[in-house]
Structure 1
Amino acid sequence: MDNPKILITFALCFCLLVLASASSSSNYVGNENNNYPPLKNRKIISPNHHSTHKLLTKESYVVIFDAGSTGSRVHVYRFNQQLDLLHIGNDLELFVKTKPGLSAYAEDPEAAAESLVPLLEEAENVVPQELHPKTPLKVGATAGLRQLKGDASERILEAVREMLNNRSTLKVEADAVTVLSGNQEGAYQWVTINYLLGNLGKHYSKTVAVVDLGGGSVQMAYAVSEEDAANAPNAPEGVESYITQMYLKGIKYYLYVHSYLRYGLLAARAEVLKVSQSSENPCILAGFDGYYTYGGVEYKAQGSESGASFSKCRNAVRKALKVNETCDYESCTFGGIWSGGGGAGENNFFVASFFYEVADEAGFVDPDAASAKVRPSDFAKAAKIACETEYKDAKSTFPRFKDADTPYMCLDLVYQYTLLVDGFGIKPSEEITLVKQIMYEDSLVEAAWPLGSAIEAVSSLPKFEKLMYFI
């Protein structure tokens, strides 16, 4: 055995025999106290295997564009496989916005598409390059585009599709750019708020009701019992079904959802101005004489010499809301629309978007707070002061109101009070939550429908269980 080659060969054979013996005597890897599964039941992959990154990537990004009536926004979310939000830098989402909205480009679809490019670039910068091809991108247009005449809406959507196909490296499916139905918008908003509050997966009675006041439309959504859903009336012709079924974190929910087009705050101003029988409107501040433009149409907005009137403005708003419209059901909201019947899912109201903005302008919530507990009567109290204020004194009385909103501050506050009380049947003294952001773990997240849309999008990815879907 003096030959070195023979010695090396012998040593190698001995090592192989020892390794084979160790492998056959134990099916476990690690020390005697571990509980790892047997080797024969585990998939062993070389560190250089091309699938290693897939195994290590336990997260997914989603990019959602909210093309609203007042502006466009992009939200980027990052989820783990349990559908929990993960940080993107210091925050739990990227949120960037721009003005005006797509509907402002009705005559120039290409300019509409170009307005989204800066938002797209921001979104693509935070998504890891290697995940771009697997990251869903969706564009949801809301009431602003729903109200455009002719083919203007579709021309804008087509221009956006073409821009994304040419410029984006993210995953853009054929149906990625759409006008959301009112029910989709309402359902997604309900999902967003209840997700951030940690209510999904719980009994429907533990969820909250949501009213979302946009610029062009207002949505109401809350969960009802299976029995109440089964007894829901058929919606009138041309109206979306009152009940939407959703499967969320192991629970089937029955949502009452309805969207009221033309009753978002900006659209409602036009509706209220239209019902006035004279050039002077009881909702416009004394001393203002001008025009309000919405949807390309001008409406005379002139204050009365005697001043605006809370009670007369309230009558005008009730008329615009069609509160006394014939109701074919046991209970209605306004315009003859079924209310959903109430129940445990409607016991706790979260109201969002313009509700918070107007309350901020009126000065009865902290502008730096993410949410606030208020009562509808707070809107009425502020409205009475606003309606007694002359236009020339408005900025000193309500310094937070934007210049463009100042002539309509009586109208806006009366409208929101009347919508909550006469429209949705909330008692003036009932406590509700105004919300613009919700604390999730250690960060604030926008309380907006895109998160609900993102949850649906990520749930449809192959590596995720079907944690959410519409039925």
Structure 2
Amino acid sequence: MIDAGSTGSRLHVYRFRQCAADDPVQLKDEALFVQTIPGLSAYTPDLAGQSLDPLLQQALQAIPKNLRRKTPMAVRATAGLRLLGHEQSEKVLDAVYDHIHARYPFPIIGGRESGVTIMDGKDEGVYVWITVNFLLGHLKSKGAPTAAVFDLGGASTQIVFEPDRIDPKAMVEGDHQYTLTYDNHDYVLYQHSYLGYGLMEARKRMHQRILELADQVKPDLHVSHPCLPRNLEFSFPKNAPSPEATFIGQGLHDACTNIVKDILNKNAVCLAPPCSFDGIHQPLIAEAFAQGPIYIFSYFYDRTVPLGLPASFKLPELGRLTERVCMGEYFEQLPDGDLRDEMLDRPEWCLDLSFIYGLLSHGYEIPDDREIRMAKKIDGVETGWCLGAAIALLDEAGLEQDA
């Protein structure tokens, strides 16, 4: 399974055991996980397919020669290609399919039409939910609370959970309601994918909003920025020949959180209450998901764990860490020189943490007293949507005939 994300491409090779079509799928292991940057959206169509060669060459080494033509594969692009627009993204995917089909032995299930595609945002979130609950063993225990999942990519963020109760007060009808059938059991899920609210897109939104607010007061090339470290000078757009402005960092956690609330559009018209942000219906976590565990992934993990946030925490802990980073206290007390250098080389740590905190607390409205868990892997397997998508692919491939 190739995850063609907005910031990079990642290849997963899984080994399953399934002797008959009606047998439950058993995961033996994740035989290979490799990645490369940047993502497909950074390439012209003629180079997009070639960008996957380093990944596919390693797949050839990992999969025995006699099994290569029996090992199905698929390419699923996510929000990065969605943002390119239909015409350009289709050209990229056509080129990727042609390149893989001509050079590699792995059968692409569904051909170009369904084997090399842009994944719907709702499927992305649901596949993450399948992955996590499959690895945690929650799908084996019928009636047991399942885990809620919150994913943060570069261009989009997803939420999926199974409400504790399903009634009109918990969830109204609409695209956000997703019925998943797995192992002869129906799971009625709430899901939504917010395109444009991934971490990289949020950075752009926040910088742009601060410029707009400054111009409303007094147009100036030097603009105070609450979400950058104190006294830091930062040109925006970054590395442009003629920057629009130079941001002067203030390191103000509360003021930065207000910018996050602003871009989350919490005041948008809510046509189907209750709503989370941007006018999107969402059952309240405090009321509709009171029992199961909460898991967060991807950039939620990548931007907090290096700073010492534990794998299990509550939002006030994240808020305190964010404030320390924004005010500069974290840098002053940091004994790890390599981490200090990395943080100074990436001045948007304060902004990133403020967005993550604001998204979880004010956007999704996770209560302060709820435990939140992070995991890069569960039982040695990478979390994310790929395993869930691979399990779904097994049904299409009919692998039991080759067992």
1:373 aligns with 2:373: no
**Counterpart Cα distance in 2 of 1:103 and 1:299:** 25
Q: Is the 8 A contact 1:205 1:345 kept in 2?
A: no
Q: Is the 8 A contact 1:288 1:391 kept in 2?
A: no
- Report sequence identity in percent: 34
1:73 aligns with 2:10: yes
**Counterpart Cα distance in 2 of 1:393 and 1:151:** 49
Residue 344 (structure 1) shift: 4.2
What residue in structure 1 maps to residue 370 of structure 2? 430
Higher relative CO (CA 8 A, sep ≥ 6), structure 1 or 2? 2
- Aligned residue identity for 2:32: L
Q: Which runs of 5+ in 2 are unaligned?
A: 19-23, 215-222
1:309 aligns with 2:222: no
1:250-301 Cα deviation digits (max 9, x unpaired): 211111110011111111111111221123221122222212459xxx8756
Q: Is the 8 A contact 1:201 1:250 kept in 2?
A: no
Give the aligned length: 377
What residue in structure 2 maps to residue 282 of structure 1? 226
The change in CA–CA distance for 1:438 and 1:391 in structure 2 (over 3 A counts) is closer
Which of 88, 92, 97 matches 2:35? Answer: 97
Residue 431 (structure 1) shift: 1.1
Q: Is the 8 A contact 2:170 2:283 kept in 1?
A: no
What residue in structure 2 maps to residue 171 of structure 1? 107
**Counterpart Cα distance in 2 of 1:355 and 1:166:** 38
1:84 aligns with 2:26: yes
Q: Is the 8 A contact 1:204 1:223 kept in 2?
A: no
**Counterpart Cα distance in 2 of 1:68 and 1:346:** 32
Residue 143 (structure 1) shift: 1.1
Residue correspondence of structure 1 range 184-203 to structure 2 within 5 A: 184-203=123-142
**Counterpart Cα distance in 1 of 2:123 and 2:106:** 23
- Aligned residue identity for 1:260: Y
**Counterpart Cα distance in 2 of 1:435 and 1:127:** 27
- Aligned residue identity for 1:364: L
The change in CA–CA distance for 1:69 and 1:300 in structure 2 (over 3 A counts) is farther
**Counterpart Cα distance in 1 of 2:98 and 2:10:** 19
- Give RMSD over aligned pairs: 2.8
Q: Is the 8 A contact 2:160 2:192 kept in 1?
A: yes
Q: Structure 1 residues 211-220 or 169-178, which shifts more?
A: 169-178
What residue in structure 2 maps to residue 447 of structure 1? 383
What residue in structure 1 maps to residue 218 of structure 2? none
The change in CA–CA distance for 1:141 and 1:313 in structure 2 (over 3 A counts) is same
Q: Is the 8 A contact 2:145 2:292 kept in 1?
A: no
Secondary structure in structure 1 of the residue aligned to 2:161? strand
What residue in structure 2 maps to residue 255 of structure 1? 189
**Counterpart Cα distance in 2 of 1:328 and 1:179:** 29
Larger radius of gyration: 1
What residue in structure 2 maps to residue 212 of structure 1? 151
**Ranges of 4+ aligned residues in structure 1 off by more than 6 Å:** 390-398
What residue in structure 2 maps to residue 118 of structure 1? 54
1:108-166 Cα deviation digits (max 9, x unpaired): 21212101011112113222323222221100111111111462211111110110110
- Aligned residue identity for 2:179: Q
- Aligned residue identity for 2:37: K
Which of 140, 144, 160 matches 1:221? Answer: 160
- Aligned residue identity for 1:362: L
Q: Is the 8 A contact 2:171 2:282 kept in 1?
A: no
- Aligned residue identity for 1:244: Y
The change in CA–CA distance for 1:396 and 1:308 in structure 2 (over 3 A counts) is farther
What residue in structure 2 maps to residue 457 of structure 1? 393
TM-score (norm 1): 0.74
Q: Which runs of 5+ in 1 are unaligned?
A: 1-63, 236-240, 366-371, 466-471
Q: Is the 8 A contact 2:124 2:385 kept in 1?
A: yes
What residue in structure 2 maps to residue 57 of structure 1? none
Q: Is the 8 A contact 2:125 2:159 kept in 1?
A: yes
What residue in structure 2 maps to residue 327 of structure 1? 270
- Aligned residue identity for 2:50: E
Q: Is the 8 A contact 2:125 2:192 kept in 1?
A: yes
Q: Is the 8 A contact 1:273 1:301 kept in 2?
A: no
Secondary structure in structure 2 of the residue aligned to 1:460? helix
Q: Is the 8 A contact 1:242 1:340 kept in 2?
A: no
